Amino acid sequence: MASGLRQDTGIKPVAFVDDDPSYWGNSINGLRVYPPHDIPRLLDSGLGITDVLLAMPSASRFRQRQILAHLSKLSIHVRILPGLAHLANGIVKIEDIREVEIDDILGRESVRADEELLHQNIMDKVVLVSGAGGSIGSELCRQILAQKPKILVLFELNEYALYAIERELSQLTPSLQIIPILGSVLDRGKLTRVFDQFGVQTVYHAAAYKHVPMIEMNPASGVLNNVFGTLNAVDAAYESKVETFVLVSTDKAVRPTNVMGCSKRIAELVLQAKGLQAQELDMCSTKLTMVRFGNVLGSSGSVVPVFREQIKRGGPITVTHPEIIRYFMTIPEAAQLVIQAGSMGEGGDVMVLDMGEPVKIVDLAKRMIHLSGFSHKDDGNPDGDIEIHFTGLRPGEKLYEELLIGGNILHTSHPRIMRAAENALPWGELSPLLLELEVAIESENGDLIMMLLKKIVPEFNHRIDSEDILKD
């Protein structure tokens, strides 16, 4: 490794650190090996150390997190070296050395996937993903490919996003039939035609408007897409006798404080009501399941790329509130769990993903500052490099998110998937309210939209007004 670094990376290795005591004090390739507790002393030793390179590809995720947590207190630039396969031939390219990603800091040990659950609704089936070009939708597509569907239909409104994901997937699996469909979930007729034409058997409905402040400023568009787009997709699924329909939902649907979260809760209510109606009419041809989870790392709008850009510019980092916390999960883990949870649903189920431990956003910001080689500038350290500014909660933003409305939670055979027993409205009660909501949307009557949202979702506690939105 040292030889490879010396060749053409422009990096000069000066010391090894290893947690195996049998190496301590020895020299390898002219470099002395030190114990981990000597790192602070090494940084102050006059060797001019600017970077720590982490080369522990076989270490567990937990152990890597421990080391990064320790290094994050030292304000030293930490980067990660490639796996041992790259290093074995003594060649290290500078482009192989990467920055610490948020998954390295927050990621948890993965749970072995249940292959039967992954295969169940995908293998040799015609699968459609709505919102196929989005953060979750595109990852669902990648994971679906691995389960060998018969045909994968990509349904997406954004032309470039559809082009990008279709191109990527076609290169990954040239032999698989991938059908890109440019369309909106608001076009019920097109959904039905697509489902019928290709004989769609499984639908993952990930199409949604999800940016909280944007939907606060455009409530009619947000509710129309998230609620009535879902209703259209469910009705089309029943009409075309789709076998399985999985709604990708969010923790913001629980006791919502913003229009986006409320619209997603109503989308859940649509599935629950339609499922109950189908049972009553004994027409259970389509199994409906919704999967609710929190923030995913690296999705559009995620704090991580924003923080990284702010650090690159020398700060300040902007955090909305010193006490704000969030649950995080990697996009691949979320997508894999969505597929498994969709297979576990029995009809009208709200499946909830275990999001792990919550993270204080300000602590995340501090770690990113330190691991980038800078110090946090505050009252206790006025000579630091980068400040954190608190900007106030954004319209509709909560200090913390929840995954359950009530306390009724049922564990399943999967350690990270739970079933929530939650109240539902019968279709006979929900349907007239949706008709009123549709009329209010057509006239863009914001006050009436808000009144009806609160009527449909009584726990909706809207905490902002239009002046707050305009100030944001």
Sign of CA dihedral 357, 362, 367, 368: positive
Q: 3-class DSSP state for residue 155?
A: strand
Task: Return the C-alpha torsion angle 140, 267, 255, 284, nearest 10.
Answer: -90
Residue among 340, 247, 235 at smallest CA distance from 283: 235
395 dihedral zone (left: phi>0; alpha: psi -120 to 50; beta) = beta
Q: String of b and e for 328-339 (b: at least 16 CB within 10 Å)?
A: bbbbbbbbbbbb
Q: Pick the catalytic residue from 125, 252, 274, 366.
A: 252
Burial (CB count within 10 angstroms: exposed 0-12, middle 13-18, buried 19+), residue 126: buried
What is the residue whose two structure tokens read 């994050």? 72
Q: If we measure between CA atoms, which residue out of 194, 125, 199, 207 comes closest to residue 162?
A: 207
Q: Which residues contact 176 (CB under 8 A, 6 or more apart)?
A: 145, 148, 149, 151, 152, 169
Instruction: For residues 105 and 331, give the distance between their C-alpha atoms in angstroms, rounded to a whole number.
Output: 15
**Residue 252 falls in the annotated catalytic set:** yes
Both tokens of residue 5? 């670094």
Tokens 């630039």 -> residue: 77
Q: Where are the beta strands (DSSP E) in 27-82?
A: 27-28, 31-34, 51-54, 77-80
Q: How far is CA 31 from the centre of its chain?
A: 42
Rg (Cα) of the chain, in Å, rounded?
A: 25
Helix (H, G, I), strand (E, B) or coil at 154: strand
**Half-sphere exposure at residue 315, Cβ-oriented, CA atoms within 13 angstroms:** 21
Please give the positions annotated as active site: 252
